[in-house]
């Protein structure tokens, strides 16, 4: 696979770089979606980019890992938490979860905010994009049953919250 | 329709291009940093690899662990004996924190002052305007002095250097010390202060229990009234707590970072830590849970600690560090054993060794009991340990003596520990004890008594010195 010309300007190019391009194509969507679900659109996308960038820089080592995606998820997660922690002031107010608005369901953003980060990521990937419980579990470093539980509880919470919201709206 | 709404919400972020990713790749670090990394890590990596090779050949041998009684980063249970009475002149060492260690949720930068500031901003924003002065730096880390110029309150921030950046190791206020241990029903510990303070504990920011819920609130009288036990009623999931100090008027008098990662309260005799380079701890967790007769408690501390941080935060020198990495690799599990002499422990340890790398074993010198520490009130020179029978000779009625042999093969550095920690039926409460020694100064045993209504209890424990240390052999107790 041909690599972008930008690769030639990067330090210490790896002999395994074609593998990275394949890995990138396969994993970028899932990582991006997971980070966006956890940290919001802006920070989440940055975290995904940062994680993948780390993966490229260290591909000779990361590329041979059994769970490359899960590893890079931790990389991005840690990076995002650092960024988030630097900007937050807990004494001035609690941390505000990321607002994910949906033009399809106005109440979804607030409903997602009520979920724990792992519930948010699980439900987003499993329900929203059809990833398997095992795929999500591998990336999050959880058991498959944990992901299933997170997803089910998240769905129950979403339905409850959105149901309440809908019930207050006049029928058209 | 929820699935479609979720897709719509999450896919607001545009796909990331490969060029975009490559543009983020940082430039090579400076020659200085590279040199520093090499200086610090190449020798350690060589030692680590050598040690790993030895471990692979020899395997883990329980008969040749570190000394039983070791002051290490995680081993010293909180007790008055373990807490140094705080003074206004204490200056913490830039080294592994005795009595607990802090995982660095907040990694800093290559600048210690900037790192300290970042940490304050995150964990203690109300104190983020204190004046920071670099007191000392060395290969291990840095010590920063903080001073609140408005009130004169001051303290220390100790940072360690790992993974190419400074991270928090300890944060304290002058004249205040606290050490906590984790328990299934909460936490216990001791605190001292040179002035009376009200202490409020909160979970760390960004940790396992990232909430603003108060964990505990208690008052501490000023020294020299002594060490005050403190208790946390509900076990927090957080391993680190933020302590805020106030005077009687409610004015802030300082702050501290407190680790609650000991497993000592349940009375285990040993703690050990295990790491594994596997990407899951499921197997290790299952294995540990399958041995309740041996394991009192265990904590998976941080599933993504880097080798660098583990080496910095523990006393191990034999971690097979093969590379310096910004990204954690290792799960770190801390296990408290019930009895170091229990049957089946060798097999258990061998099983652990196949599931990770056993870093350290150590004895807790003072496992927690519900009673206060013993106080030596008398010493008698005797030919042999007396029976508590004299109690009955006083004419008091009571239950017959109960006696037995101590089953545990645990040994201790000093005889008092052997007696105090022996798994025996003992007279509880009042914690006075008597030491019995032979005429040539050899400790023979100890006696407890409890004066109370309606009975007085007496317990004696016989100890002996072995090649491995002191152990309890026989015990006898009576009430009258």
Give me the residue spans of the domains in chain B.
58-70+265-363, 112-259, 375-479
Residues A47 and A19 in one domain: yes
DSSP classification of residue A38: H
Q: Which residues of B touch A143 (CB under 8 A)?
A: 282
Which of A4, A29, A66 lies closest to B18 in CB terms?
Answer: A4
What is the DSSP pairing of strand B375-381 with strand B432-437?
Answer: parallel
Q: What is the pLDDT of residue A94?
A: 32
> Using the beta-carbon criterion (under 8 Å), do A45 and B13 form an inter-chain contact?
yes
Q: What is the pLDDT of residue A46?
A: 92
Tokens of B111: 């600048």
Integer Cα distance of A44 and A49 in angstroms: 9
Residue ranges in chain B modelled with pLDDT below 70: 26-107, 163, 182-186, 206-212, 223-231, 233-237, 261-281, 300-332, 338-341, 357-382, 386-402, 421, 423-434, 449-458, 478-480
Q: Which residues of A touch B323 (CB under 8 A)?
A: 61
Contacts of B70 (CB under 8 A, 6+ apart): B315, B362, B363
Q: How many CB atoms lie within 10 A of CB B138?
A: 10
CATH-assigned architecture of domain B58-70+265-363:
2-Layer Sandwich (3.30)
> Using the beta-carbon criterion (under 8 Å), do A33 and B24 form an inter-chain contact?
no
Residues A81 and A28 in one domain: yes
Distance from CA of B303 to the nearest CA of A (A): 9
Q: How many domains does chain A have?
A: 2
CATH of the domain at A143: 1.10.10.10
Q: Tell me the DSSP string of B53-77.
A: HHHHHH---TTS-S-SS---TTT--
Taking CA–CA distances from A124, the nearest residue in chain B reads: B6
DSSP classification of residue B393: H
Which of B2, B14, B22 lies closest to A127 in CB terms?
Answer: B2
Q: Which of B116, B110, B104, B162 is nearest to B143 (CA)?
A: B116
Q: Which of B423, B451, B418, B452 is nearest to B435 (CA)?
A: B418
Structural domain boundaries, residue A162: 101-172
Asked whether residue A59 is domain-assigned, the answer is yes
Whether B159 contacts B109, CB under 8 Å = no
Digit-coded pLDDT (tens) for A82-118: 666 544 333 322 334 456 766 667 778 888 888 878 8
Whether B205 contacts B123, CB under 8 Å = yes
Q: What is the pLDDT of residue B288?
A: 86
Distance from CA of A75 to the nearest CA of B (A): 6
Dmax (CA) for chain A in angstroms is: 62
Q: What is the pLDDT of residue B39?
A: 28
Contacts of B407 (CB under 8 A, 6+ apart): B423
Structural domain ending residue among the three candidates A58, A89, A120: A89
Its ipTM equals: 0.80
Residues A37 and A66 in one domain: yes
Asked whether residue A5 is domain-assigned, the answer is no
Beta strands in B195-278 (DSSP E): 197-203, 216-220, 228-232, 240-246, 252-259, 270-276
Which of B27, B121, B326 lies closest to A11 in CB terms?
Answer: B27
Digit-coded pLDDT (tens) for A24-73: 999 999 999 999 998 888 889 999 999 999 888 878 777 877 778 888 88
Residue A95, judged by CB atoms within 10 A of its CB (0-12, 13-18, 19+), counts as middle
CA angle centred on A118, ends A115 and A122, rounded to 5°: 95
Q: If contacts are CB pairs under 8 Å, which of residues 19-38 in chain A contact chain B?
A: 21, 24, 28-29, 32-33, 36-37
């Amino acid at each position: 696979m041909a690599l972008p010309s930008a690769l030639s300007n990067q330090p210490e190019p790896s002999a395994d770089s074609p593998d990275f391009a394949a890995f990138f194509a396969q994993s970028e969507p899932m990582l991006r979606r997971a980070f966006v679900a956890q940290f919001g659109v802006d920070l989440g996308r940055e975290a995904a980019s940062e994680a993948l960038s780390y993966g490229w820089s260290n591909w000779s080592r990361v590329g041979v890992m059994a769970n490359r995606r899960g590893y890079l998820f931790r990389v991005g997660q840690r990076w995002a938490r650092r960024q988030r922690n630097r900007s937050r002031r807990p004494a001035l107010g609690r941390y505000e979860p990321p607002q994910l608005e949906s033009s399809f369901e106005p109440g979804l953003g607030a409903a997602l905010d009520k979920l724990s980060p792992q519930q948010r990521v699980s439900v987003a990937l499993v329900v929203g994009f059809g990833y398997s419980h095992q795929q999500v579990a591998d990336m999050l470093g959880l058991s498959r049953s944990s992901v299933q539980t997170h997803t089910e509880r998240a769905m129950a919470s979403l339905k409850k919250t959105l149901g309440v919201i809908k019930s207050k709206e006049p029928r058209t | 329709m929820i699935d479609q709404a979720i897709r719509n919400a999450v896919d607001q972020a545009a796909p990331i291009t490969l060029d975009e990713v490559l543009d983020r790749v940082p430039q090579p670090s400076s020659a200085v940093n590279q040199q520093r990394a090499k200086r610090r890590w190449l020798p350690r990596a060589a030692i680590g690899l050598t040690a790993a090779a030895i471990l692979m050949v020899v395997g883990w041998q329980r008969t040749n662990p570190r000394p039983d009684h070791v002051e290490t980063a995680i081993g010293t249970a909180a007790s008055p004996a373990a807490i140094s009475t705080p003074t206004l002149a204490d200056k913490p060492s830039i080294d592994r924190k005795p009595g607990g260690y802090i995982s660095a949720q907040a990694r800093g930068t290559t600048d210690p002052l900037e790192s300290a500031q970042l940490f304050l901003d995150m964990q203690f924003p109300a104190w983020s305007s204190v004046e920071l002065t670099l007191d000392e730096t060395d290969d291990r880390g840095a010590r920063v002095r903080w001073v609140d110029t408005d009130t004169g309150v001051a303290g220390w921030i100790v940072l360690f250097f790992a993974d190419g950046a400074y991270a928090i190791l300890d944060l304290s206020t002058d004249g205040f010390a606290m050490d906590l241990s984790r328990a299934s029903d909460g936490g216990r510990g001791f605190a001292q202060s040179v002035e009376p303070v009200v202490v409020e504990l909160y979970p760390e920011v960004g940790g396992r229990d990232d909430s603003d819920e108060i964990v505990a609130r208690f008052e501490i009288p000023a020294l020299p009234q002594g060490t005050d036990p403190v208790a946390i009623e509900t076990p927090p999931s957080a391993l680190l707590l933020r302590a805020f100090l106030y005077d009687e008027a409610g004015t802030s008098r300082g702050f501290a970072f407190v680790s609650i990662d000991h497993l000592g309260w349940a009375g285990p005799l040993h703690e050990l830590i295990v790491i594994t380079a596997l990407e899951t701890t499921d197997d290790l967790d299952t294995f540990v849970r399958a041995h309740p007769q041996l394991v009192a408690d265990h904590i998976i501390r941080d599933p993504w600690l880097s080798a660098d941080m583990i080496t910095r935060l523990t006393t191990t020198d034999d971690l097979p560090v093969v590379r310096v990495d910004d990204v954690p690799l290792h799960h770190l599990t801390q296990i408290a054993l019930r009895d170091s002499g229990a049957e089946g422990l060798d097999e258990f340890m061998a099983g652990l060794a196949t599931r990770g790398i056993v870093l350290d074993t150590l004895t807790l010198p003072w496992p927690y009991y519900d009673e206060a520490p013993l106080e030596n009130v008398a010493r008698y020179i005797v030919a042999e340990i007396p029976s508590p029978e004299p109690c009955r000779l006083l004419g008091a009625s009571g239950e017959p003596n109960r006696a037995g042999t101590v089953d545990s093969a645990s040994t201790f550095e000093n005889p008092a520990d052997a007696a105090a920690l022996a798994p025996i039926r003992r007279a509880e409460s009042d914690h006075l004890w008597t030491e019995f020694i032979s005429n040539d100064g050899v400790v023979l045993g100890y006696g407890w008594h409890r004066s109370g209504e309606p009975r007085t209890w007496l317990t004696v424990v016989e100890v002996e010195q072995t090649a491995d240390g002191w152990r309890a052999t026989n015990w006898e107790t009576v009430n009258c």
